[in-house]
Amino acid sequence: MNLPPFSSRLSRLALLVAPALLALAGTALQAQSGPLPPPPLMMFYREEVKPGHGAAHAASESAWGRVLAKGKSTDYYMGMSSLTGPSEAWFIMGYSSYADWEAKQTEADKNPALRKEIDAISLKDGDHLSGTRSFLGTLRKDLSYGPPVEIGKMRYMRVRTFRIKQGMGVAFEEGVKMALAAYEKSHFPASFAFYEVEAGTWSPTFVVLRPMKSLADMDAMDTANKAFQDALGEEGRKAMQKAFTDTVNGVENQLFAFSPKLSYPAPFVVASDPAFWAPKPPKEPAK
């Protein structure tokens, strides 16, 4: 992640991306494995990676994790690389409150040695980027769906971003709640978390995060979507379609893969699958 020299490593807002989510990192979550609810506050940070710089960027990000671990930082994050759309890396950070976020922002500044290393890595990281974007979102439990997931076992994230017409936020939410009722009725086999953007991009904007263990999870979506449409019924489908046509300016759908090299995962994430999140270095061949 590329941070301005004056900014804390923690303020690089993790950006974006996808469904129902997860119990992401930070003190917002307990240091234990197992399913956990999504954090109340989420920072999203998006980096546009220059073509051909993917490997070098990943190496730079790995250096972030080593420095933060050495400095005993508790501002954990999960990184994802894009499978669709532009070449991007997204980082997501969960917090229990604004006070928690503020505390994490000042963490590195209290450690001059850590601050120095972070600034140096930030400059190198910038060589591989063509742009960045960050935004902050708050969890909307009333618009989210499904049971908590064990985020450390997830490998992919689908991120859906809704940009809403001015003055149409309430009408959009009513359309989402119509869909939620049909999801419940059809026993839709997924979890997703709705985040309402508070700052950093067009408002109103909602980001929907849906974590997946495998891309194979999407193979069952035709059947699940048919059951969802049946649960809506003809009148419900017309009403929901009208609600979204009247309220939505645009929708962006993206797929990402979680990357240990891009992450500084919380202990509970590592505990879910140490072989993936903290792989042991390969043994050197015997001489």
Kindly tell me if the per-residue pLDDT of 155 is higher than 80: yes
Pick the CATH number of 153-252 from 3.30.300.180, 3.40.710.10, 3.40.920.10, 3.30.70.100: 3.30.70.100
Residue 273 DSSP SS3: coil
Kindly tell me if the per-residue pLDDT of 266 is higher than 70: yes
Pick 29 or 210 by higher pLDDT. 210
| Structure confidence at residue 8 (pLDDT) | 36
Query: Three-class SS string for 46-114?
Result: EEEECCCCHHHHHHHHHHHHHHHHHCCCCCCEEEEEECCCCCEEEEEEEECCHHHHHHHHHHHHHCHHH
Q: Per residue in 1-36, pLDDT tens?
A: 543 332 333 333 333 333 333 334 333 334 567 899
Q: Per residue in 213-245, pLDDT tens?
A: 999 999 988 899 999 999 999 999 999 999 999
110 CB burial (10 A radius; 0-12, 13-18, 19+)? exposed
| Structure confidence at residue 90 (pLDDT) | 94
- Rounded mean pLDDT of 172-183? 96
Question: What is the C-alpha separation between 25 and 158, in angstroms, rounded?
Answer: 18
Q: What's the whole-model pTM score?
A: 0.83
| Structure confidence at residue 29 (pLDDT) | 39
Pick the CATH number of 9-139+257-271 from 3.30.70.100, 2.40.180.10, 3.30.450.20, 2.60.40.1180: 3.30.70.100
Look over the chain and give the mean of its residue pLDDT values, rounded to a whole number: 84
Residue ranges, CATH 3.30.70.100, the chain = 9-139+257-271, 153-252
| Structure confidence at residue 32 (pLDDT) | 63
